[in-house]
Amino acid sequence: MIPLRSVQTAGGEVAVILRRSDRAVGYVKDGVLQTLIDARGHNLAPHVNAAVDVLLQEKVRQALVLGYGGGAASTMLHRAGVDVFAVDCDPCAKPLAQLFFRAPPCLDVVVSDAAAYVEWAAATSFDGVLIDFQDSIETPKAYLSQSFWRAVARVLRPRGMAVVNVTPWLHGGPDWRTFQGALGLGGFDAVALSDEHGAGNRILVTVRGAAAT
């Protein structure tokens, strides 16, 4: 791997790397690869393709992306005609995504903690949300919190869809049952979990319950 850029943020180190074998470019947060594109700008992370495909199949028109990273998912949704609003805790995410990952400058990216953002965002603003901000082997506290999932449900329209990137550390770790319980008590139902994609990531798809507030 060839290092291209390194930025120290409040949440840890963000690095952009170039893979020697095929010239693919990666966005890495604290040692965890979050985005990988080829020399033509095409996404190389299978779980990202799977998540975007689900949202497009359901004809989502306004999508919230919690965890922008290198911007691969947001860029794919935008190019498919979806109105995308993204959130990332690192101020460097948007400029790095534009410089190295071919993300369009017009994408809206707010610098904020994801859990804090959904607490004050306008209700029923989106018909789909992509959640992907686990950037270490430690499960984000928000994932285990009923209040976080209630806030996510609140910003979704009735029967709105949430798609979550489930890392192998979450699915195979001690937090899995707590995560499932928080999700259900937070107002989501009809959960479906995919098989493994690529490096073991899975896609969890769930729908805001009719009674969620």
Q: Is the pLDDT of residue 212 over 80?
A: no
Contact 41, 25 (CB under 8 A): no
pLDDT for residue 11: 84
Q: Are 203 and 197 in contact (CB under 8 A)?
A: yes
Of 172, 184, 76, 186, which Cα lies nearest the Cα of 130?
Answer: 76
Residue 213 — very low, low, confident or very high, per pLDDT cuts 50/70/90?
Answer: low
For residue range 169-182, what is the model confidence (pLDDT) as tens digits? Answer: 999 999 999 999 99
- Measuring CA to CA, how many Å separate 198 from each of 101, 173, 179, 180? 20, 18, 22, 23
pTM more than 0.85? yes
pLDDT of 30 > 90? The answer is no
Amino acid occupying residue 129:
V
pLDDT in tens, 85-106: 999 999 999 999 999 999 999 9
Tokens representing 75 are 């860029």
Number of neighbours of residue 199 by Cβ within 10 angstroms: 12
The predicted-structure confidence for 144-192, as pLDDT tens digits, reads as follows 999 999 999 999 999 999 999 999 999 999 999 999 999 999 999 889 9
pLDDT for the residue numbered 189 = 87
DSSP label at residue 197: B
Terminal CA-CA length for the chain = 47
Tens digits of residue pLDDT in 31-71: 889 999 999 999 999 999 999 999 999 999 999 999 999 99
User: Which pLDDT band, with edges at 50, 70 and 90, does 199 fall under?
Assistant: confident
Q: Is the dihedral of CA 99, 163, 125, 87 positive or negative?
A: negative
